[in-house]
Amino acid sequence: MMDWTDRHCRSLHRALTRHALLYSEMVTTGAVLHGDRDRLLGHDAGEYPLALQLGGSDPADLAASARIGEDFGYQEINLNVGCPSDRVQSGRFGACLMREPDLVAEAMAAIRGAVSVPATVKCRIGVDDQDPEESLFTLVDRCAAAGVTTFIVHARKAWLKGLSPKQNRDVPPLDYPLVWRLKQARPELTIVINGGIGSLEAALPHLDQLDGVMLGRAAYHTPDLLGRVDQLIFGEAGEVTPEAAIERYRPYMAGQLALGTPLAAMSRHMLGLFHGRPGARAWRRILTVEGIRPGAGLEVLDLALAAVSGAQGQVGRGGVETGEAAEIAHAQERGVQAVIQDQGLDVFQMGSGDGD
């Protein structure tokens, strides 16, 4: 997800789950071919398994970009056929490619010819006035004829005129049964569903019907759910708590800080880690207010963690509200200079308006 699932975010998510496949932000072919590749494609091997999502429609450019991506170490090349933003439409890629299944198939054939890792498609079920039954099956069948075997389907149309990218993630109605029918009709294909799935529990019924579930906003806003993926979905023993994930992530953070990466570039992805738990607000406040100060380091993380564990201790004695107040006081006693404001901090404010 653009602006969200950067390398720092993905390293955090990998600390929570070893098995979930992680995806990059969409990177356009123009950026891959002419931009600062190390900045755009660089990542840590600790993020694997990792897919690179490309945006583009020119088969030769996609093939060249895919090869570069494979050389960088990505284990899958995915083509975006779902982004509805105006910028993307003017470049004739993203969701508007739902209208050009032959071009998508040609592009996928070119990508497949250029790399040895899997080449996959992430698409919508249709755009505008298309009949989704027709547009989805046509796109999938043309690409399958070109050798593509894995499709991630965002189970709603994109309306290319009149809706913002954000509205296009919520307003067009979801049609999960259509995606299930696609799998029933094409059982040889790997079909992964996406769109509006807010928890692992909500993902489970889809896994009875399909090969996988992609979580977007839920994984970002409540990353703690990823700590249960390996246990619940992949059958491993035990879940990874947010605290354990932070300990795994800490060496990565230390390494990045040493390279000059600001703490906030990493801590901004951590705000939802304690979502719904005592101390969650203090955690967010400390990371947000303290984490953006120049020179902020791991001491901010420790302070925020202390606030959470203080709040957990208080719950048994005084309930969540009391616990939260106490843990803020506790954190302040420990020298937090945070300006704690009355209004809650909105975790959901950041991010790109354009991505999809």
Ligand X SMILES: Cc1cc2nc3c(=O)[nH]c(=O)nc-3n(C[C@H](O)[C@H](O)[C@H](O)COP(=O)(O)O)c2cc1C
Active site (catalytic) residues: 83
Residue 240's φ and ψ, nearest 5 degrees, are: -100, 115
- Assess contact for 152 and 123: CB atoms under 8 A: yes
Using CB under 6 A, which of 59, 69, 82, 242 touches ligand X? Answer: 82
CA distances from 186 to 104, 146, 151, 168, 181 (A): 19, 15, 11, 27, 8
Closest CA to 124 of 74, 89, 75: 89
Q: Using the rule CB under 6 A, is 215 a contact of ligand X?
A: yes
Per-residue contact flags (x/-) with ligand X for residues 272 to 311, judged by CB under 6 A: ----------------------------------------
Footprint (CB under 6 A) of ligand X, residues 18-37: 25-26
CA distance 135 to 122: 14
Q: Residue 86, Cβ neighbours under 10 Å: how many?
A: 12
Closest approach, Cβ 349 to ligand X, in A, equals 11
Footprint (CB under 6 A) of ligand X, residues 246-265: none
Closest approach, Cβ 174 to ligand X, in A, equals 9
Using CB under 6 A, which of 64, 200, 218, 229 touches ligand X? Answer: 218
- Assess contact for 1 and 216: CB atoms under 8 A: yes
Using CB under 6 A, which of 13, 112, 169, 183 touches ligand X? Answer: 169
Closest approach, Cβ 164 to ligand X, in A, equals 11
Decide whether 227 or 278 has the Cβ nearer to ligand X: 227
CA distance 306 to 296: 16
Decide whether 196 or 212 has the Cβ nearer to ligand X: 196
Among 95-103, 215-223, 279-287, 322-330, the segment contacting ligand X (CB under 6 A): 215-223
Q: Using the rule CB under 6 A, is 4 a contact of ligand X?
A: yes
Decide whether 47 or 356 has the Cβ nearer to ligand X: 356
Per-residue contact flags (x/-) with ligand X for residues 179 to 208, judged by CB under 6 A: ---------------xxxx-----------
Among 133-141, 270-278, 328-336, 348-356, the segment contacting ligand X (CB under 6 A): 348-356
Using CB under 6 A, which of 99, 181, 186, 217 touches ligand X? Answer: 217
Footprint (CB under 6 A) of ligand X, residues 107-136: 122
Q: Using the rule CB under 6 A, is 355 a contact of ligand X?
A: yes
Decide whether 83 or 110 has the Cβ nearer to ligand X: 83
Q: Give the interface with ligand X as residue ranges (CB under 6 A).
A: 1-4, 25-26, 53, 80, 82-83, 122, 154, 169, 194-197, 215-218, 351-352, 355-356
